[in-house]
Chain A
């Protein structure tokens, strides 16, 4: 169930960072599923491409990544009960909100948004982490 991810060596090489050996993209605790912060996918978006991608594309990429992980966990983004979004500048708040509102209605997950100083990927404008409530065996095919 848990997949292991590490920061891409190429992103790490740009900074004085050595990726952690492992941490999971998600961790289940009873019906709750904790998802590590999802950001731009370095594999799908090489660094130069990522740098050109704006907040709208990156927000959508984060939410799609959450969707992918939660689908694998037997649920979907509709199971999210709490999300925290980390921007690097509140100037992006408008674009981020526009895209966010295409995915989530006002009765969607509780949400907290903050602007931080730095994110792990040097080109990242946003990371989103979330907690979902997925009752196990609700999807017997999984």
Chain B
């Protein structure tokens, strides 16, 4: 609403098949971030508009790998979002990681809330 855009909780679904990708948490996380990138493009947003992210994972002991993937996605793309990560016991579809993202973008306010197209 207004300048805020909130994603649903995203798991690592391949957009072509609708199935959870292989590779466990790292593969799923790469897919989530790829899907996020597509969402950013489709909605005329920018990586730097991501204000806040929440990560839920069933494999917190692999968080080192997940952080490397995170860093690769966000480094050199501007300010980083506030982030919260917690370990959970179960996620939908047997996923090992789920993430949601909150964007703040005021670039389109003069357009009455309509999103710019990229």
The residues of A with any CB-CB pair to B shorter than 8 Å are 2, 4, 12, 15-27, 29-30, 32, 34-37, 84, 86, 116-120, 127, 129, 131
B75's closest neighbor in chain A, by CB? A21
Chain A residues near B62 (CB, 8 Å)?
16
Which of A18, A29, A36 is within 8 Å of B67, CB to CB?
A: A18
Q: Chain B: residues with CB nearer than 8 A to chain A?
A: 3-4, 51-52, 58, 60-65, 67-68, 70-71, 75, 79-89, 102, 104, 106
Measured in the bound complex, the distance between the Cα atoms of B71 and A28 in whole Å is 20
Q: With A20-B70, A25-B82, A86-B86 in contact, do A117 and B64 touch (Cβ < 8 Å)?
A: no
Shortest distance between the CB of B97 and any CB in chain A (Å): 13
Of B3, B82, B88, the contact of A34 (CB 8 Å cutoff)? B82
In the complex, chain A residues whose CB is within 8 Å of the CB of B89: 117
Instruction: Choose from B60, B81, B86, B87 the contact partner of A23 (Cβ within 8 Å).
Output: B81
Q: Which residues of A contact B102 (CB under 8 A)?
A: 34
CA separation between A37 and B54, bound complex, in Å?
10
Take A17-B67, A32-B104 as given contacts and tell me if A27 and B79 are in contact as well, using a CB distance cutoff of 8 Å: yes
9 contacts across the A-B interface (CB closer than 8 A): A18-B63, A19-B67, A20-B70, A24-B81, A27-B82, A34-B51, A117-B86, A117-B89, A118-B60
Contact of B86 among A16, A26, A116 (CB under 8 A): A116
Q: How far is the CA of A102 from the CA of B33 in the complex (A)?
A: 40
Does the CB pair A35–B86 fall under 8 Å? no
The answer for the CA separation of A119 and B56 in the assembled complex, in Å, is 10
Q: How far is the CB of B3 from chain A (nearest CB, A)?
A: 6
Q: Which residues of A contact B64 (CB under 8 A)?
A: 12, 16-18
B79 contacts A116, C-beta separation under 8 Å: no
Does B51 contact A116, Cβ atoms closer than 8 Å?
no
CB < 8 Å neighbour of B61 from A2, A16, A34: A16
A29 pairs with B104, CB closer than 8 A: yes
User: Which residues of B lie under 8 Å from residue A27 when comparing CB positions?
Assistant: 51-52, 79-82
Whether the Cβ atoms of B86 and A2 lie closer than 8 Å is: no
Q: Is the CB of B82 within 8 A of A116?
A: no
Q: Which residues of A contact B4 (CB under 8 A)?
A: 29
CA A28 to CA B84, docked complex, whole Å: 15
